[in-house]
């Protein structure tokens, strides 16, 4: 009679296998994604499956209770030790006895799909460059002498079909004790990049290593550094953390940092050291927060603008300060973390840096392209990633254009009198009652809105420290809508606006948001200087977007995606009231959170995404804002709120 039919779900893959075939073997032969670290030795438990019994007309299968071999002693031992979920079997132990339908649960899939937290519901498919393998290694033999590493390489070849294995010196020194302690059974963490011809052993453990392996996605901005620690098996974000870029003390924006290097020989080295030290500190913080051993961090993916890119790598950025803005390299980089003095993670950790697009358009813009995929869009989409430098992409299936625009740090809360990084204590949302002119707000870390007047809502206002980027955008837009601000950006006096919250400051006025000085707390106001800083930032952003639209020959776009490393998502209404972005139907303006950071996470979790973005970058048309004569004109006209000449018909609705 014919061999039993095995159908795997959810893949639908099926085939006939002789009685006695382990489920794991059947899965492998059919190319079903079923995980295994121990190679079927019954010790890793990664191969768990759920058999289904009964009638399955859809699959043409009737599965009897005895269609799988009986629960065996290996499974029993595992169940006693760790507990197997109800209905689960180990795929390497259960063997096929009859027709059967077998489900591979999400956690047993290597290429599991991770739902992104961003507003869009796209997913990341796990395919990390670093994975764990358990191997049994031959013992040394005097008669056929070979080195321990050579026998490890042979075991990886025979047991996992992995060729060309190498090990760095720090691994070699751990290998011999690990092999002997593990009685010739070890686990290796193996890394293979998308364009590598060989695999690298990053670490070894005696026996089966049951700890996790992790990676970092770091968005290295001019003003803030944001990091996500991800589990390299599940893709889960274990912790997120951020800090101010310490290079700020050398210059607030990119060009002032380049000037610092020009004026101060050795300034580039100072800034490289500062940022690397900060990143090492950030790695320690985030590992502590996630309660993991920093030695279990094996990879870091960086996205950053070209100047940050060069300073991170220890390359003098002066060429980026003048036309033709030549990068030392625009290619992606794969290197050892220790080459960059990043010592806070595993000794052999690897670093991947996304490719840059052009002299002013960096790996951060590439990351936004990877995350938001404008080149797959049917309609014309404008994507703005707001930071000290805004990354702007415009495109659809036909063609994608990119530029970057020097918005300055105002959108990140810097250069704002009460501004701060998006962190607990910062006001992130704000509304102003157009009648009473009284504000109410919400602080990061609390989901409670403050009361409109008096601010005696203790829970909402305790620990308040300042106002972050998304908060200041809302504050300025709300002030405009409440008539506290005219279209040139001037704050009215108490008489003009009818509220005592307008307080004179020299020859200008400020708007009072919150006064906690009586309790030793902060005085939070929006000053005329703050409004001017936001106007400069938003004009630069708008002008960059307009330039891309000119290049593409359009006056409107179909939709807008707002992104930024802010704590909260940017409110589309407020962004448009302010004139940060061109007019578009409000329901076509969406927020994507930190798109550059998400792009970094995708490249961290899926090694082939690195090849994808390297190819995509080559197809993007770069527009250099610094040399476009029209930029200045667009910039001046965009200074008014929302704009001097461009219409905003959608706002009137």
Binding residues for ligand FES, rule: CB under 6 A, are 24, 36-38, 40-47, 90-92
Closer to ligand FES by CB, 90 or 104: give it: 90
What ranges in 453-593 are assigned the alpha helix state H?
A: 458-461, 469-481, 494-497, 528-552, 572-578
Closest distance of CB 91 from ligand FES, Å: 6
CB atoms near residue 227 (< 10 Å) = 23
- CB–CB of 88/48 below 8 Å? yes
Closest distance of CB 206 from ligand FES, Å: 17
Closer to ligand FES by CB, 47 or 581: give it: 47
* Tokens found for residue 27: 């899965």
* Tokens found for residue 142: 């005097």
Closest distance of CB 42 from ligand FES, Å: 5
| Three-state SS at 116 | coil
Closest distance of CB 28 from ligand FES, Å: 11
Q: What are phi and psi of 429, to 5 degrees?
A: -130, 145
For the chain, the first-to-last Cα distance in angstroms comes to 73
Closest distance of CB 111 from ligand FES, Å: 16
| Three-state SS at 400 | strand
Strands 199-206 and 224-231: unpaired
Closer to ligand FES by CB, 91 or 544: give it: 91
CB atoms near residue 195 (< 10 Å) = 11
Using alpha carbons, select from 591, 589, 585 the residue that is nearest to residue 568: 591
Closest distance of CB 628 from ligand FES, Å: 58
Closest distance of CB 89 from ligand FES, Å: 10
Using alpha carbons, select from 302, 360, 374 the residue that is nearest to residue 332: 302
Closer to ligand FES by CB, 156 or 361: give it: 156
Closer to ligand FES by CB, 24 or 149: give it: 24
- CB–CB of 564/469 below 8 Å? yes
Give Cα separations from 528 to 60, 135, 449, 515 (angstroms). 74, 66, 26, 18
Q: What are phi and psi of 346, to 5 degrees?
A: -55, 140
Closer to ligand FES by CB, 47 or 96: give it: 47
Closest distance of CB 93 from ligand FES, Å: 7
Closest distance of CB 158 from ligand FES, Å: 16
Q: Which residues lie below 8 Å from residue 286, measured CB to CB, with a gap of 6+?
A: 216, 227, 229, 239, 240, 241
Closest distance of CB 87 from ligand FES, Å: 16
Eight-class DSSP state of 456: -
Closest distance of CB 86 from ligand FES, Å: 18
587 forms beta bridges with none
Q: H/E/C letters for each residue in 350-386?
A: EEEECCCCECCECHHHHHHHHHHCHHHCCCCEEEEEE
Question: HSE of 277 in the Cβ direction (CA atoms, 13 Å)?
Answer: 8
Eight-class DSSP state of 569: P
- CB–CB of 219/364 below 8 Å? yes
383 forms beta bridges with 393, 561
Closest distance of CB 68 from ligand FES, Å: 14
- The CA distance from 505 to 82, in Å, is 67
Closer to ligand FES by CB, 20 or 618: give it: 20
Q: H/E/C letters for each residue in 26-48?
A: HHHHHCCCCCCCCCCCCCCCCCE
Strands 54-56 and 61-63: antiparallel
Using alpha carbons, select from 275, 135, 303 the residue that is nearest to residue 209: 135
User: Is the N-terminal amide bond of 41 cis, ω within 30° of 0?
Assistant: no
Closer to ligand FES by CB, 232 or 353: give it: 232
Handedness of CA 349, 39, 205, 238 (dihedral sign): positive
Closer to ligand FES by CB, 27 or 63: give it: 27
Closer to ligand FES by CB, 36 or 639: give it: 36
Closest distance of CB 231 from ligand FES, Å: 19
Closer to ligand FES by CB, 208 or 278: give it: 208
Closer to ligand FES by CB, 38 or 368: give it: 38
Closest distance of CB 234 from ligand FES, Å: 17
Closer to ligand FES by CB, 37 or 369: give it: 37
| Helix (H) or strand (E) segment spanning residue 302 | strand 297-304
Strands 185-191 and 130-136: antiparallel
Tally the residues of the chain.
653
Closest distance of CB 80 from ligand FES, Å: 15
Closer to ligand FES by CB, 44 or 254: give it: 44
Closer to ligand FES by CB, 42 or 492: give it: 42
């Amino acid at each position: 009679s014919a061999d039993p039919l095995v159908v795997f779900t959810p893949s639908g893959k099926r085939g006939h296998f002789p009685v006695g075939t382990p489920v794991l073997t059947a899965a492998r032969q059919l190319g079903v994604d079923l995980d295994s670290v121990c190679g079927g030795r019954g010790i890793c438990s990664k191969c768990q499956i759920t058999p289904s019994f009964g009638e399955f007309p859809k699959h043409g299968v009737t599965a009897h209770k005895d269609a799988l071999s009986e629960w065996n002693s290996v499974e029993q031992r595992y169940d006693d030790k760790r507990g197997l979920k109800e209905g689960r079997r180990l795929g390497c132990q259960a063997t096929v006895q009859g027709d059967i339908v077998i489900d591979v649960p999400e956690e047993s899939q290597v290429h599991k799909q991770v739902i992104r937290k961003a507003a869009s519901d796209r997913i990341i498919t796990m395919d990390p460059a670093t994975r764990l393998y358990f191997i049994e290694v031959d013992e040394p033999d005097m008669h056929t002498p070979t080195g321990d590493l050579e026998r490890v390489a042979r075991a990886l070849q025979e047991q996992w079909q992995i060729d060309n294995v190498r090990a760095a010196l720090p691994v070699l020194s751990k290998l011999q004790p690990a092999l002997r302690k593990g009685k010739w059974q070890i686990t290796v963490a193996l890394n293979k990049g998308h364009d590598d011809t060989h695999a690298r052993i990053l670490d070894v453990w005696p026996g089966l290593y049951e700890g996790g392996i992790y990676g970092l996605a770091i968005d290295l901005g001019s003003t803030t550094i944001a990091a996500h620690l991800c589990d390299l098996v599940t893709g889960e974000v274990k912790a997120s953390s951020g800090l101010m870029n310490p290079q700020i003390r050398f210059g607030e924006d990119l060009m002032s940092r380049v000037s610092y290097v020009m004026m101060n020989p050795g300034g580039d080295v100072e800034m490289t050291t500062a940022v690397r030290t900060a990143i090492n500190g950030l790695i320690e913080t985030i590992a502590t927060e996630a309660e993991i051993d920093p030695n279990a961090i094996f990879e870091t993916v960086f996205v950053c603008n070209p100047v940050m890119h060069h300073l991170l790598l220890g390359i003098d950025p002066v060429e980026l300060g003048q036309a033709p803005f030549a990068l030392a390299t625009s290619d992606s980089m794969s290197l050892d973390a220790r080459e960059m003095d990043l010592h806070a993670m595993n000794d052999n950790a690897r670093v991947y840096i996304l490719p840059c697009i052009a002299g002013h358009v960096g790996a951060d813009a590439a990351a936004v392209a990877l995350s938001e995929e404008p080149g797959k869009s049917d309609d014309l989409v404008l994507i703005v990633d707001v930071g000290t430098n805004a990354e702007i992409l415009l495109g659809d299936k036909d063609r994608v254009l990119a530029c970057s625009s020097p918005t300055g740090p105002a959108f990140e809360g810097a250069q704002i009198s009460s501004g701060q990084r998006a962190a607990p204590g910062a006001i992130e949302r704000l509304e102003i009652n157009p009648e009473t002119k009284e504000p109410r707000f919400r602080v990061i870390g609390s989901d409670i809105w403050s009361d409109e007047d008096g601010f005696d809502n203790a829970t909402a206002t305790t620990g308040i420290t300042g106002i972050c980027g998304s908060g200041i955008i809302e504050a300025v837009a709300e002030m405009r809508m409440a008539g506290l601000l005219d279209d040139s950006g001037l704050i009215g006096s108490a008489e003009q606006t009818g509220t005592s919250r307008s307080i004179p400051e020299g020859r200008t006025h400020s708007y009072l948001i919150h006064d906690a000085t009586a309790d030793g707390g902060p005085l939070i106001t929006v000053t005329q200087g703050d409004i001017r800083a936001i106007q400069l930032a938003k004009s630069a952003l708008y002008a960059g977007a307009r330039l891309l639209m000119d290049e593409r020959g359009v006056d409107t776009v179909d939709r807008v995606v707002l992104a930024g490393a802010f704590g909260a998502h940017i409110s589309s209404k407020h962004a448009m009231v302010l004139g940060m972005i061109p007019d578009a139907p409000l329901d076509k303006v969406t927020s994507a959170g930190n798109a550059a950071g998400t792009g970094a996470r995708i490249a961290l979790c899926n090694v082939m995404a690195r090849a994808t973005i390297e190819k995509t970058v080559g197809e993007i048309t770069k527009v250099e804002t610094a040399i476009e004569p029209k930029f200045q004109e667009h910039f001046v006209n965009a200074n008014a709120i929302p704009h001097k000449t461009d219409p905003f018909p959608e706002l009137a609705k």
